[in-house]
Amino acid sequence: MFAGPIIAREFLTAPRPARFYITRAAFASVMFLLMWTAWQSLIGWRQVQDFGVLARFGGVLYLLFALLQLTLLLFFAPLSAATSISHEKDRRTFVLLLMTDLSDLEIVLGKLVASFIQIMTVLVAGLPVLCLCALLGGISFGQVGNLFAVTAASGLSGGALGLLIALWRDRTFQSVSLTILMVVVSVVAVEAIAFWLPDLSLFGVPLVEALNPYRATLAVLYPSPEQTSAWRTSSFVYVTIRLMFAAAILAVGTIMLRKWNPGKSEPREQREEVLEERLEVIDEVEEVSGRDLLQIARQADVRSAAERVGELSTVAGETTGLHVPRRAHRRIAGPPRPYRQAWDNPVLWRELMTRAYGTKPLIIKAIYVGLFALGAYAFHALAAGVDVPFASNLALIPIAVAILSLMIINAQGVTALTSERDSGALDLLLVTELTPAQFIFGKLYGALYNCKEMVILPVAWVVVMAAMRLMSVENAVLAIVGFLLLCHFAAMLGLHAAITYVNSRTAVAHSLGTLFFLMAGIGVCAFLIILSDREFGRQLLSFMIFIGAGSVALFVSLGARNPSQAIALVSILTPFWTFYCVIALINGEFMGAFLFGSALYGFFLLAMLVPAVSDFDIALGRTNAIQG
C-alpha cells in the first residue's frame, strides 16, 4: 500500500474486533437519545405547529452535538496517539520498529493515522445524525460541512501533538499527562492572549476564532455578517492553521525520531538516574561484602534491584556483563555513607522516597502550576464586581481546575501499574512476600503523593476563598472533603482499570474514558436541565433511559472482566445519584449534594479497593482459581 505497511496493517486489523462496530453504533445511539432528551427539555409532549420552534430546536440541538463531539475529539484523539507510542515503548517493541527499513516519515505518519482511524470512523458515523438537524431548520448543510471540517482538523492536530509528546517522552505517565495539559494550554493560552490583546487578528479573523476550537465552532454556528468571503471565514482560517500546525509537528517528529529514541530515560537504560546511583554504589562497594549485596538489593528499588546487584558485583570482581567505570578520584574520604532503610511497606517507600518516575514529572507540575495560577487570577479578576461568583458562570473555572487535577491523578494511578507490567517488574513483585494491601495502598498513596501539587493547590485555593468570604466556611469544608474523596476515587479508578485490563493502552483508555464520561455526563445533564427552565417532569423518561444507558456502559467498562455485586450496584447507582447531585447543586442544596455524592463515590471507592486487596492474586494472574 502506498501509505506504508503500518497504515495498511491498521486498515486490515482495525475492523476485525467487534468493538469497532459497537462503538460507532453506540455513538449514534447516544446522539439519538440526546436528541430525544433535548426535545423533551425544550418542547415536551405538546404539538408543534410553528416552524420557528423546530428551527430553534435544530439550532440548540446542533450546538449541543457540536460542543460534545468537539470535546470528545480534543480529548481522545491526542490520548489515542500518545498511548499508541507509549504502549510500544513500555513493551520494548518501538525499538524493533526503528530497526526495520521503514522510513521515519512512514513510522510517524503511520502511527498517527493508525491511532486516528477508530476516532474518525466514529466521527463519520455521527455525521448523518447531524444532517438531521439541518432538515429541522436553523442551520444549513454548509454549516454542517464546515463544522465537520473544524472538528476533524482539531482532532488531527491534537493527535499530532500527542504523538510528538509521546515520541519525546519515554514514560507513559509523562506522555499522557503532558498531552492532557498541552490540550488545555492550547485553549487557555489563546484565551489569555486574546484577553490582553483583544484587537489581535489573523487574516482578518479574530485570534480566538482562528485558534480556539470552541470559538471557531461557535463562529460556524453563529457566523459574523462581516465575513462575506469564503477565504476569510473563521472555519477556513482555523482549519488551515490547524493543518499547518499538524504538518509542522509531524515534520519535527520525523526529524527528531532517531534522536529521541531510544531515549535517555528508557526503563533499562535510565542514563541520568542510573548514573547517579552508580556513582553512589562505587563509593560504597569497598565497604560491603557478598552478604551485604543481597541486603542492599532487597532495600533498593524493586525495579532496579537486579541492575544494582549486577553493578555491585561487577565492581567487586564478579562477571555480570555490566561495565561500570571506576571513579576512585571522586571518592570522598571519611566514613561510609549509610544506605537507605526501606519501610515496612517497600512499595510505598519506593513511591515516596525514590525517584520512581524520574525527574521529568517536574515539567508536568510546572505546567499545572502555571495553569492553576492563570485560572485563579482569571477567577478573582472577573469576580471583583460580582456579589456571588459561584452562582454565575465563573464557577466553571474552579470546576475545570478540579477536573484537570482528577484527570492527572487518574493518569498517574493507571500508569503506576501498567508501567510495572509492561516492563516485567510486576512479575518480580508477584513472587515476593509483599501482601496485597502493601502493594495496593503503596500504589494508591504513591500516586497521590506524586500528584500532591494537584491535591494541595485546589485545597489551598478553597481555604483562601473562604478567608476572602467568597464562600462560606461550611461550603469550604464540604468542598475540601468532597475533593479529597474524589482524588482517592480517581487514583483507585486508575489502579482498578490497570488490574482489570492487561493491555496498558486499553487500561488507560477505560480509566481516563470512564472519568471523562462521568464529568461529561454531568455537564450534559446540567446543560439540559438549565435549558428546560427546571421543568424536570416532562424529560424524566428520557433522562431515565439516558442514565440507564450510562449505567450499562459503566458496568461494561469496570465490571465485565472481574464482575462483582458491588461494582454492579455502583454502576447502577452512580449515574442516578449523580443526576440527583446535579439537581441539588442547581437548586442550592449543597449539603444534600455533598452527602449523596460522598456516600456514592465513597462506596464506589470501597467497591474497587476491597476486591483489589482480597482478590489480588486472581486479578493479577498469580493464580487462576481458588484452591479448595
> Percent of the chain beyond pLDDT 90?
17
The pLDDT assigned to 336 comes to 63
**497 part of a folded domain:** yes
Q: Do 320 and 462 fall into the same domain?
A: no
Taking residues 308-332, what's their average pLDDT?
A: 43
**23 part of a folded domain:** yes
**265 part of a folded domain:** no
The pLDDT assigned to 249 comes to 93
Q: What is the pLDDT of residues 228-252, one digit of tens each?
A: 555 557 788 889 999 999 999 999 9
In angstroms, the Cα distances linking 289 to 293, 294, 309 are 6, 9, 12
- DSSP-derived 3-state class of residue 169: coil
**628 part of a folded domain:** no
Identify the burial level of 33 via C-beta atoms within 10 angstroms of its C-beta, where 0-12 means exposed, 13-18 middle and 19 or more buried.
Answer: middle
The CA distance from 352 to 450, in Å, is 8
**353 part of a folded domain:** no
DSSP-derived secondary structure for 451-491: THHHHHHHHHHHHHHHHTTSS-HHHHHHHHHHHHHHHHHHH
Q: Do 219 and 337 fall into the same domain?
A: no
Cβ of 625: how many Cβ atoms within 10 Å?
6
Yes or no: say if 134 and 24 are a contact pair by the CB < 8 Å rule: no
Domain range for 205: 5-260
- Collect all residues with Cβ–Cβ distance below 8 Å to 156 and sequence separation of at least 6: 77, 116, 242, 243, 246
Q: What is the pLDDT of residues 455-474, one digit of tens each?
A: 999 999 999 999 988 888 98
The pLDDT assigned to 337 comes to 63
The pLDDT assigned to 295 comes to 52
Domain boundary among 260, 284, 315: 260
Yes or no: say if 311 and 278 are a contact pair by the CB < 8 Å rule: yes
Yes or no: say if 230 and 236 are a contact pair by the CB < 8 Å rule: yes
Q: Do 392 and 534 fall into the same domain?
A: yes
Q: Do 313 and 231 fall into the same domain?
A: no
- Most confident range (mean pLDDT) of 42-46, 115-119, 204-208, 335-339 is 115-119
Domain boundary among 309, 344, 379: 344
Q: Do 340 and 421 fall into the same domain?
A: no
For the chain, the first-to-last Cα distance in angstroms comes to 55
**355 part of a folded domain:** no
The pLDDT assigned to 527 comes to 67
**350 part of a folded domain:** no
The CA distance from 319 to 343, in Å, is 31
Output 340 or 565, whichever has higher pLDDT: 565
Q: Do 459 and 538 fall into the same domain?
A: yes
The pLDDT assigned to 163 comes to 93
The pLDDT assigned to 326 comes to 43
User: Model's pTM, two decimal places?
Assistant: 0.81
Q: Do 242 and 296 fall into the same domain?
A: no
Taking residues 40-53, what's their average pLDDT?
A: 67
In angstroms, the Cα distances linking 84 to 94, 134, 166, 585 are 10, 36, 8, 39
Yes or no: say if 410 and 488 are a contact pair by the CB < 8 Å rule: no
- Collect all residues with Cβ–Cβ distance below 8 Å to 300 and sequence separation of at least 6: 308
Taking residues 314-336, what's their average pLDDT?
A: 45
Residue 626 φ then ψ, to 5°:
-80, 120
Q: Do 140 and 249 fall into the same domain?
A: yes
Query: For the chain, what is the total number of helices (H) and then of strands (E)?
Result: 26, 2
Domain boundary among 317, 344, 371: 344
Ordered alpha helix ranges (H), 169-268: 172-196, 207-211, 213-221, 234-260
Q: Do 213 and 283 fall into the same domain?
A: no
**352 part of a folded domain:** no
Asked if pLDDT for residue 332 goes beyond 60, the answer is no
Output 4 or 210, whichever has higher pLDDT: 210
Pick the range with the lowest mean pLDDT from 299-308, 518-527, 611-620.
299-308
Structural domains in the chain (count): 3
Q: Do 245 and 291 fall into the same domain?
A: no
Identify the burial level of 25 via C-beta atoms within 10 angstroms of its C-beta, where 0-12 means exposed, 13-18 middle and 19 or more buried.
Answer: exposed
Q: Do 254 and 276 fall into the same domain?
A: no
Q: Do 320 and 418 fall into the same domain?
A: no
Asked if pLDDT for residue 269 goes beyond 60, the answer is no
